[in-house]
Structure 1
Amino acid sequence: MIRTERQKEYYNALLDKNSEYEGVFYVGVRTTGVFCRPTCPARKPKFENCEFFESAQQALLASFRPCQRCRPLSHPNHVPEIVRVLVEAVENNPEKRWNTQDFKDLSVDESTARRQFKKRFGMTFVEYARARRMGLALKNIRSGQSVIDSQLSTGYESSSGFRDAFSRIMGAAPTRLDHMNILRAAWLDTRLGPMMAVADDEALHLLEFIDRRGLEREVERLRQRTKSAIIPGVTDPIRSIEQELAAYFEGKLTSFQTPLELHGSPFQKSVWEQLVNIPSGETRSYRDIAVSLGRPTAFRAVAQANGANQLAIVIPCHRVINTNGELGGYGGGLARKNWLLDHEKQGRYT
């Protein structure tokens, strides 16, 4: 039974359509007989008409049927048909430059496509298609093809337009890429909502929830620190962490083996090493970490290093709490932190 205090917390999250609570709870509405996910766009019921559940199975067993608007039995980030169709169209002709008539030919509303891609990928469809063309241009240039050939093959008649677009998306002008690192960024669907993974061919550099506040600044700092271009794509470390996250959420894995690249000061790295050593199902306080480092008064610096962690779940900053037992902070939101701790402590692998 979910306690009354938690019910009030969940109801406020329902009113706010707070995506941090995706996968944390479901709400059954007594007046309609349906159950929904926290971000359901339907009109919100009164508190007294709500029942809260920790899994869809519990809601079904309580005789509630799934809502037809938010579809709680499907993945919270189910790919809309319009997105699937357009992604497939881009892959069939990745060098294509799209115009209004192309959308009409596919019976697709251009403004709807823009909204759906913005929601799903954080970029419009046109930006998505352009990034795909730029990815091909990068491949061509790195394989020895001249800049002018790459420019023409990706549909840019103006060399200045090509350089500007390339620079915006890749983070570097084409003539400079031979001396730059390349990082790939991928969207990963998880039990607690979508995450972004950024990696090169050797290691994972960043793993964060998509809706984390300040994620854009984190990505930009990573790009500048590594002097890298960041483009959409998948590498072996991204495939590895996707598989490991799936196993973690199924309760089949408690530690991660994906290679990591840590970006921080020596002190921050020492804190992160301590976090990795906290066993799954246990917690430590900021003061505990400071003591383990031989710096018992540095607990505030430990808290700052904890917040600077860019590898959520893998470096388990969610296992660090306040000395008084309160949760403290968490970049992915306290609802997720609480869920992760329950998941690890109680084996709630639903």
Structure 2
Amino acid sequence: MVTSEEKKLEYYKALVEKDPQYDGTFFAGIKSTGIFCHATCTAKKPKYENCEFYLTAQEALLAGYRPCKRCSPLSYPNSIPKEVEELIQAVEEHPEKRWKESDFRELGIHSATARRKFNEIYGMTFVQYARARRMGIAFKEILRGEKVIDQQVALGYESPSAFHDAFTKIMGNPPKKANIKLIYANIIATPIGRMFSLTDENYLYLLEFMDRRGLEREIERLRNKHNARILVSNTKINKELERQLALYFNMQLTQFDIPLYKDGTDFQIQVWNLLETIEIGQTVSYQELASTLGNKNKVRAIGNANGANKIAILIPCHRVIQTNGELGGYGGGVERKKYLLSLEQKLKSIRN
């Protein structure tokens, strides 16, 4: 999301004036209607305070906005092919659905065609689009902290069933029994994207970038394992997490002090504990970690454990690189990994 006040004012002026030079530059999320638009949308212009601006359609979708039917922001710069229109409509009708080959066959569309056409037009696959829309619905509820039925109306669903299915698929149904555990969700803004946190009064369970692939399954698995319902509340743990992350990104903190719930196998936890010993500003290879654990053949297993880490930044899997010095992968994306390592190099030089 665009946070610079100067840039937001620039984009709002372009939206009000329907400036065609800005089409494709930003997407305007309209809080009062739950839609996102192009700069040249002909709909009545909202108040400035009701606007949020995004640089990509995926960001707008993850924030819970649906495409405006009047200006069709997802059609820029080309008209939308018929099969893509059908797929977008299918997502709106059943946002909770996780698409399988059989679903594409029912619509008479090949999954490879859907993948290619969405990539050509939107820079993301259809599965990424559907996931972003599904996650955005859940996150919208969390951001506002309102009842599902209220959000259902704001998002434009005539019946609460589709919205409810999309939300509860991830977050669970309201607690009916006293023995259900309550875990609380929040969204934390950082310079490299919004992060999703799950905490209770004792631990941080999950901290991930909101656009991470597989995030919703992580949330579901955690919820099912703990027989939990995920609600909205800013716990003491989350408030402290926000404070420490702000200090970290402002290069004022080198060591986090948040109680973590490490939800994994004995081996995974062993690897995560080892990751926490890597000093800020340092990197190690998967091979070095394997040697430290006494088995140089466990490189792949260590890579898998690294990828299974649910607490980004605090358990610093971004500090693990390939033996040849290349960065390797990162669940939050390689660009974020570069940013974090660069930030920590500066932190190290300041500390020394």
* Secondary structure of the structure 1 residue equivalent to 2:301: helix
Distance 1:171 1:274 in 2: 33
Distance 2:313 2:205 in 1: 13
Partner of 1:236: 236
Distance 1:237 1:198 in 2: 10
Partner of 1:248: 248
Measure how far apart 1:342 and its partner are: 1.0
Partner of 2:222: 222
Cα RMSD for the two superposed structures = 4.2
AA at the equivalent of 2:276? V
CA, structure 1 residues 252+124, in 2 after alignment: closer, same or farther (shift >3 Å)?
Answer: closer
Distance 1:119 1:166 in 2: 13
CA contact (8 A) 1:118 1:125 kept: no
- Percent identical residues: 41
After TM superposition, the structure 1 = structure 2 runs for residues 73-222 of structure 1, keeping only pairs within 5 Å, are: 82-83=30-31, 119-121=62-64, 122-123=136-137, 132-133=146-147, 171-172=172-173, 174-176=175-177, 178-222=178-222
Measure how far apart 1:291 and its partner are: 1.2
CA, structure 1 residues 243+291, in 2 after alignment: closer, same or farther (shift >3 Å)?
Answer: same
Measure how far apart 1:107 and its partner are: 8.7
Distance 1:214 1:281 in 2: 28
Distance 1:191 1:200 in 2: 25
Matched residue pairs, number? 234
TM-score (norm 2): 0.56
CA contact (8 A) 2:170 2:216 kept: no
CA, structure 1 residues 281+117, in 2 after alignment: closer, same or farther (shift >3 Å)?
Answer: closer
Measure how far apart 1:42 and its partner are: 4.3
Structure 2, unaligned runs of 5 or more: 4-20, 35-43, 65-135, 150-160
Partner of 1:306: 306
Measure how far apart 1:232 and its partner are: 2.4
AA at the equivalent of 1:123? I
CA, structure 1 residues 170+296, in 2 after alignment: closer, same or farther (shift >3 Å)?
Answer: closer
Distance 2:191 2:143 in 1: 28
CA contact (8 A) 1:169 1:231 kept: no
Distance 1:134 1:183 in 2: 17
Partner of 1:96: none
Partner of 2:278: 278
CA, structure 1 residues 234+291, in 2 after alignment: closer, same or farther (shift >3 Å)?
Answer: same
Distance 2:252 2:304 in 1: 31
AA at the equivalent of 1:278? I
Distance 2:301 2:231 in 1: 33
Measure how far apart 1:274 and its partner are: 0.5
TM-score (norm 1): 0.57
Q: CA-to-partner distance for each residue in 1:129-181, whole Å, 9 max, x for gaps?
A: 9962369xxxxxxxxxxxxxxxxxxxxxxxx9xx98996675245432x1111
Q: CA-to-partner distance for each residue in 1:187-212, whole Å, 9 max, x for gaps?
A: 11001110001111111000000111
Measure how far apart 1:297 and its partner are: 1.3
Partner of 1:94: none
User: Which has more radius of gyration?
Assistant: 1
Distance 1:174 1:281 in 2: 44
Structure 1, unaligned runs of 5 or more: 1-18, 24-40, 45-68, 72-78, 88-103, 136-159
AA at the equivalent of 1:226? H
Partner of 2:75: none
Distance 2:338 2:166 in 1: 42
